[in-house]
Structure 1
Amino acid sequence: TEFTHSTTLLLLELTREHQHLYHRNKPLFYKKLEQEFSRQEYNSTNEKIRKKLGNMVTTYKRAKDRSRLTGEGKISW
């Protein structure tokens, strides 16, 4: 399943809810996310979720660093 706007928002919400697991037990964190996606009838694998979240974090960090270095204004998502 490709990530849509709504599934991306769900991923962000679930990440916020379970961030304590992200820092302590990443395999359990991704398992929880996969279970929640499944419970809400989204067919997304652990690997797809991990890849999407990783790409989002990388993009965020790159934009933040670029903004800090160049002094550009606020980034709107």
Structure 2
Amino acid sequence: MQFKIEIAGFIPDIDAIEHTIRAVDPSALADIDQAGEMIRVATSLDAVHLLRLMGQAGYPVAEDELERLPSECCGGCGG
């Protein structure tokens, strides 16, 4: 699943976020867009789990701030 979170206020520590998420989902990816306005996360975790981990990483996010993006999976890799 892919999610995006609009950055409000301070710029989060993306390394801490990715490290926290990867402790549970080793294949997860997290980054900040070039404009510095959005956190992007690709993970196998559901929204509830991701929200909890974001808080643990020091960047609490409310449920209404998390946007789930439509899947881009073509199924070709079998994953």
Which of the two has higher C-alpha Rg?
1
Give TM-score, length-normalised by structure 2.
0.36
**Which structure is higher in helix share?**
1
Higher relative contact order (CA 8 A, sep 6+): 2
